[in-house]
């Protein structure tokens, strides 16, 4: 095959390219001047023919093509050369074209977000199910079937803008809904609780988790002294740490994670009745994460794994969807619930307050330009709409200040609301004016209200019927810096999360704590973490200590409050809520010369029928010759497409192909990794030798493809073959860790809190 070159393949290039001729005799001159023309160019034709001989590429517009211009719209004749005095002479200061281009380039960057810097966005819509008018007067929930435009930005928290996607981190799940009553920003995370109870601690948390100020590392990682030092001194973070050390922080992709509003909000109906709500997004694709060993390799193989996944899925029309639900509860529930509903380190299990679905979010359009949309989108938690209100969650108050303030810093002007991605899509008007980069052109004489102008000068007026009204909350009390007593139980829900996990998930959590704490160099910090964990679950703490090789478990810290009995909640586990099908996933198929063409075709059909994707991996990107003599090009080489990039793998190889691949270390790793990561593996009988060489034993997670490829896809629907996972054995989590201390029936959790029988301070 001939080597592809831009000029030979891209007609848009080859048509318009006119390279300055290096073969011209003048190319050899060392003169500082063009070869002296017989007379200076005079006609238009002569002037445009003046072109140097330096060999650079000129792509010139043909009639009807868009013309390159300056920012002011002036057409550019030559975009390749600065203005010089003679071809080798000094560049002149009057080259305004050059100055403008470089000036603009110098100002391309805006400050990245302090946290959540790395993110990826997409457009879509929210579709309302039934009217929720009984609950809220918010217009977005008024009419069944109505679609509201939406923009979503997913993110990591700790890493800088250029960090890798698959780090162990909380994911941001920020949604802007362009409703008919203004933009509603639901700025949530993929975890329903948070590290801290007071907004004032947020800068400390962000400083502690991000790179240390002296050495500026580690990047996008919590496995270091500063993070664990800080959280170990903040026992309120224990519940969130359990989530963070679980597979929740390693989502398979944005499409397979949940979202949560975290705080308790209010909804108000037209009669002014108010209820508390907590927001949940459930992925219709299912909930799925990867294993830590896999995540580490994915970051090397494809640091853009999550953003590429979203881009690819939307590009092929496989639009991801989430269902928005609310947990609705009233003051009475709030009073009885053992935890404070204003405390963002606590959740309300779905078993206690079931989800009420309100509608679905569909992402169906990638951005046209990353900067203009994903980078410039400015989410503000203060952006709510009539029919909703905040509660006194002390985190929320801090956030309502922080987001507006940070947008001014990032985007440089209070007029960031006028940017297309941020502007409301409903009619709007007010008397805010001027400021940097104001590009709205207000008309009329009135720029104040009240005013008595009318007619052409008519200005917007307030509307007591549809306008935003706060919930008339009674407030009284001393103005003090105190934390409510009901916030003090730091460990009960941490334990609840742990005992709600399957054995495999619990083992992964032990593994994650051991990994992170093994990176902590200061022994006292490790010990302090374990002191806190003992309060959540003694046996769990012991297993971590064993994993760290700690000879003695440190004394438990003094818990600020006795533990409350709470039952396990199945909805907190990923594995207990397996995906319903294999749709939207990706199979990697290793192929070799002589591989059976009908088997490959049948596999493709089965995978297509499931709504999944298939990528071919081979020794050479040019592909292989199948046994029907047809050449099949590969999507990836083995090195360029390691098995961590796929949800399941298959080998469709011939005997000779298996022999050749057996000699290839990358091919062996490809199989071993997939096996170790508990992936489903399809194989042809001819590939058995290759499996043997890789040293993997065929188990219940394997399917022979020779007869029926649909059986393999059925197997893939189950997700992973967890029986193969060695983590539980490594950390001695043979039996699930349970709550041996509490009476944990669902009713018990809502009843008056009972102090646990467990002693809270141990020597």
Footprint of ligand HDE (CB under 6 A): 113-116, 119, 153, 155, 172, 174, 187-189, 194, 199, 202, 262, 344, 379, 395, 398-399, 402-403, 406
Buried b (16+ CB within 10 A) or exposed e, 533-551: bbbbbbbbbbbbbebbebe
Cβ at position 242, least distance to ligand HDE in Å: 16
Contact 386, 138 (CB under 8 A): yes
Nearer to ligand HDE, 111 or 354 (CB): 111
Nearer to ligand HDE, 132 or 174 (CB): 174
d(CA 355, CA 369): 36
Nearer to ligand HDE, 51 or 206 (CB): 206
Nearer to ligand HDE, 155 or 599 (CB): 155
Sequence-distant (≥ 6) Cβ neighbours of residue 112 within 8 angstroms: 160, 161, 410
| Closest-approach residue to ligand HDE (CB) | 172
d(CA 531, CA 538): 10
Cβ at position 725, least distance to ligand HDE in Å: 31
Contact 198, 205 (CB under 8 A): no
d(CA 499, CA 567): 9
Nearer to ligand HDE, 201 or 537 (CB): 201
Nearer to ligand HDE, 153 or 679 (CB): 153
Cβ at position 174, least distance to ligand HDE in Å: 4
Please report how the helices 292-301 and 503-518 are oriented relative to each other, as an axis angle in degrees rounded to 10. Answer: 60
Nearer to ligand HDE, 188 or 701 (CB): 188
Contact 60, 18 (CB under 8 A): yes
Cβ at position 338, least distance to ligand HDE in Å: 21
Cβ at position 379, least distance to ligand HDE in Å: 5
CA dihedral in degrees (242, 243, 249, 252; nearest 10)? 120
Cβ at position 192, least distance to ligand HDE in Å: 9
Contact 168, 190 (CB under 8 A): no
Nearest residue to 183 (alpha-carbon basis) of 384, 417, 375, 363: 384
Distances (CA, A) of 424 to 29, 102, 418, 419, 442: 61, 33, 8, 10, 16
| Other Cβ atoms closer than 10 A to 461 | 9
132 sits in the region (left: phi over 0; alpha: psi -120 to 50; else beta) called: alpha
Cβ at position 132, least distance to ligand HDE in Å: 22
DSSP conformation letters of 562-591: --------GGG-STTS--S--TT-EEEEEE
DSSP-derived 3-state class of residue 268: strand
Nearer to ligand HDE, 255 or 758 (CB): 255
Q: SS3 sequence, 664-686? A: CHHHHHHHHHHHHCCCCEEECHH
Cβ at position 200, least distance to ligand HDE in Å: 8
Cβ at position 658, least distance to ligand HDE in Å: 47
Catalytic residue ranges: 116, 189
Buried b (16+ CB within 10 A) or exposed e, 685-714: ebbbebbebbebeeeebbbbbbeebbebbb
Nearer to ligand HDE, 125 or 260 (CB): 260
Nearer to ligand HDE, 187 or 575 (CB): 187
Cβ at position 373, least distance to ligand HDE in Å: 11
H or E segment to which residue 302 belongs: none
DSSP-derived 3-state class of residue 554: coil
Contact 683, 705 (CB under 8 A): yes
- Is 303 buried (19+), middle (13-18) or exposed (0-12) by CB count in 10 A? middle
Distances (CA, A) of 241 to 140, 235, 359, 516: 35, 10, 31, 11
On the question of a cis peptide bond just before residue 673, with omega within 30 degrees of 0, the verdict is: no
């Amino acid at each position: 095959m001939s080597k592809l070159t831009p000029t030979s393949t891209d007609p848009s290039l080859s048509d318009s390219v006119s390279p300055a001729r290096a073969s011209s005799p003048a190319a050899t001159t060392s003169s500082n001047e063009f070869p002296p023309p017989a007379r200076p160019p005079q006609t238009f034709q002569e002037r445009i023919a003046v072109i140097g001989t330096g060999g650079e590429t000129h792509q010139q517009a043909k009639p009807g093509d868009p013309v390159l211009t300056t920012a002011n719209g002036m057409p550019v004749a030559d975009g390749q050369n600065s203005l010089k005095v003679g071809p080798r002479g000094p560049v002149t200061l009057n080259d305004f074209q050059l100055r403008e281009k470089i000036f603009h380039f110098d100002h391309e960057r805006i400050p990245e977000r302090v946290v959540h810097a790395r993110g990826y966005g997409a457009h879509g819509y929210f579709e309302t199910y039934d009217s929720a008018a009984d609950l809220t007067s918010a217009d977005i929930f008024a009419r069944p079937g109505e679609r509201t435009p939406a923009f979503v930005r997913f993110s990591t928290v700790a890493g800088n803008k250029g960090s890798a996607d698959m780090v162990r981190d909380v994911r941001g799940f920020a949604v802007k809904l362009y409703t008919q009553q203004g933009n509603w920003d639901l700025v949530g995370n993929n975890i329903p609780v948070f590290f801290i109870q007071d907004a004032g601690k947020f800068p400390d948390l962000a400083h502690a988790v991000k790179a240390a100020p002296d050495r500026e590392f580690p990047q996008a990682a919590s496995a270091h002294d500063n993070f664990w030092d800080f959280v170990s001194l903040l026992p309120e973070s224990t519940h969130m740490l359990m989530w963070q050390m679980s597979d929740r922080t390693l989502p398979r992709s944005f499409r397979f994670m949940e979202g949560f509003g975290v705080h308790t909000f209010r909804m108000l109906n037209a009669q002014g009745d108010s209820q508390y709500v907590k927001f949940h997004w459930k992925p219709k694709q299912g909930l799925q994460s990867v294993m830590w060993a896999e995540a580490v390799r994915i970051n090397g193989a494809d640091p853009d794994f999550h953003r590429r996944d979203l881009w690819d899925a939307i590009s092929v029309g496989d639009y991801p969807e989430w269902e928005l639900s609310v947990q609705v509860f009233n003051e009475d529930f709030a009073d009885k619930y053992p935890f404070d509903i204003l405390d963002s380190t606590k959740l309300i299990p779905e078993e206690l307050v079931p989800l009420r679905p309100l509608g679905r979010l569909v992402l169906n359009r990638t951005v046209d330009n990353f900067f203009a949309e994903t980078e410039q989108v400015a989410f503000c938690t203060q952006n709510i709409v009539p029919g909703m209100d905040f509660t006194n969650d002390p985190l929320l108050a801090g956030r309502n200040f922080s987001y507006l303030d940070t947008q001014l810093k990032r985007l440089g002007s209070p007029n960031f609301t006028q940017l297309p991605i941020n502007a409301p899509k409903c009619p709007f008007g007010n008397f805010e004016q001027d400021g940097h980069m104001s590009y709205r052109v207000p008309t009329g004489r009135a720029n104040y209200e009240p005013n008595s102008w009318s007619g052409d000068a008519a200005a917007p007026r307030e509307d007591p019927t549809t306008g935003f009204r706060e919930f008339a909350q009674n407030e009284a009390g001393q103005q003090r810096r105190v934390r409510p007593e009901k916030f003090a139980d730091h460990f009960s829900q941490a334990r609840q999360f742990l005992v709600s996990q399957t054995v495999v998930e619990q083992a992964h959590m032990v593994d994650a704590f051991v990994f992170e704490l093994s990176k902590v160099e200061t022994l006292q910090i490790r010990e302090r973490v374990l002191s806190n964990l003992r309060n959540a679950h003694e046996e769990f703490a012991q297993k971590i200590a064993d994993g760290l090789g700690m000879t003695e478990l440190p004394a438990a810290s003094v818990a600020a409050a006795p533990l409350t009995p709470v039952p396990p909640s199945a909805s907190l586990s990923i594995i207990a809520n397996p995906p319903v099908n294999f749709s939207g996933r990706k199979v990697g198929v290793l192929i070799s010369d002589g591989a059976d063409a009908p088997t490959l075709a049948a596999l493709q059909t089965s995978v297509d029928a499931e709504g999944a994707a298939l990528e071919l991996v081979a020794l050479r990107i040019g592909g292989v010759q199948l046994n029907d003599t047809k050449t099949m090009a590969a999507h990836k080489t083995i090195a360029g497409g390691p098995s961590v990039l796929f949800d399941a793998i298959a080998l469709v190889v011939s005997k000779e192909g298996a022999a050749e691949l057996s000699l290839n270390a990358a091919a062996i790793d490809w199989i071993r990794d997939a096996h170790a990561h508990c992936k489903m593996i399809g194989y042809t009988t001819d590939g058995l030798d290759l499996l043997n060489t890789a040293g993997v034993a065929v188990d219940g997670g394997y399917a022979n493809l020779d007869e029926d490829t649909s059986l393999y896809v059925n197997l893939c629907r189950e997700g992973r073959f967890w029986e193969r996972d060695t983590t539980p054995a490594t950390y001695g989590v043979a039996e699930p860790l349970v709550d041996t201390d509490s009476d944990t029936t669902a009713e018990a959790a809502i009843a008056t809190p009972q102090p646990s029988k467990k002693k809270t301070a141990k020597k």
